[in-house]
Amino acid sequence: MKKKITLAVFVTFALACATIAQAGGLHLRSHAALILDAEHGRILFSKNPDNIVPIASITKLMTAIVVLDAKLPLKEGVVIEQADVDVIKNTRSRLRVGTRLSRYDLLRLALMSSENRAAAALGRAYPGGINAFVEAMNNKAFELGMGNSYFVDSTGLNRKNVSTARDLAKLVEAAEDYDLIRQFSTTAAHAVEFKEERSLKFVNSNRLVRSSSWEIGVSKTGFLREAGRCLVMQAKISGKPIIIVLLDSAGKNTRIGDANRVKKWMETGFTRKVRG
């Protein structure tokens, strides 16, 4: 009985937060969303926060955490192999089979520009291979309390990589503790030098990191047909650390529009209204 009461109170609180948010003028078009005051652990807004949905390349945040937790040598070279080529969605990549990059560079490309072959190579080059890597991903999810999340690969190309907005807020909060994740996920652009004396410029898949009006600490985008357009961020808005999770945005620019709506909503005094 105690457990049922606790759950009922929790659900009521979440719904109340959502109601307050809507009353405050925040209307998001993403199918699922969660806005969290990271400093106090307070949910400011939620919309379908517990719907289990595909998360596409948001998966790469967990990939980065597992790689860094393993303390693998970041300067070690990893060769892109045929096994890293996407045969699920047939996405393209500028990393040719046979290319050798450091684990450091692969991590940067996976986080910054959502490079699928980079993320695939990171999982494959893990001690024990991709199966051991996926097991480590799911173990980390359990450790973080992400009870409605499940991973099957290191890229997010498989629609069976699933989570909820509530769980992903925990993932973003955990990712913020890693210096390299903060640095790489918010790098606006980076040129990679190859041995063939060629250079390729990669840009961040989240254009908001290039905006002077945003102060972003962690960022990751994702897209699959089954997942829609997704975006998670940790950002300071009006000096407050806020975690933003936006999932299954239908339009190409909807997730960016929703993020800007959240920012404007915070800046126009929502916090004061709730306190009052």
β-pairing, 32-37 vs 189-194, is unpaired
Q: Is 141 exposed, middle or buried (0-12, 13-18, 19+ CB in 10 A)?
A: buried
User: Own/partner pairs for 9-14, CB < 8 Å, 24+ apart?
Assistant: 13/43, 14/43, 14/46, 14/49
Is 57 labeled as catalytic in the residue annotation?
yes
Alpha-carbon distance of 191 to 96, in angstroms, equals 16
Rounded to an integer, what distance in angstroms lies between the CA atom of residue 107 and that of residue 126?
13
Distance CA 146, CA 265 (A): 28
Strands 77-79 and 32-37: unpaired
60 catalytic, yes or no?
A: yes
Choice among 57, 113, 154, 163 that is catalytic: 57
Q: Out of 47, 60, 140, 170, which one is annotated catalytic?
A: 60
Structure tokens at 146: 């992400």
Show which residues are catalytic: 57, 60, 114
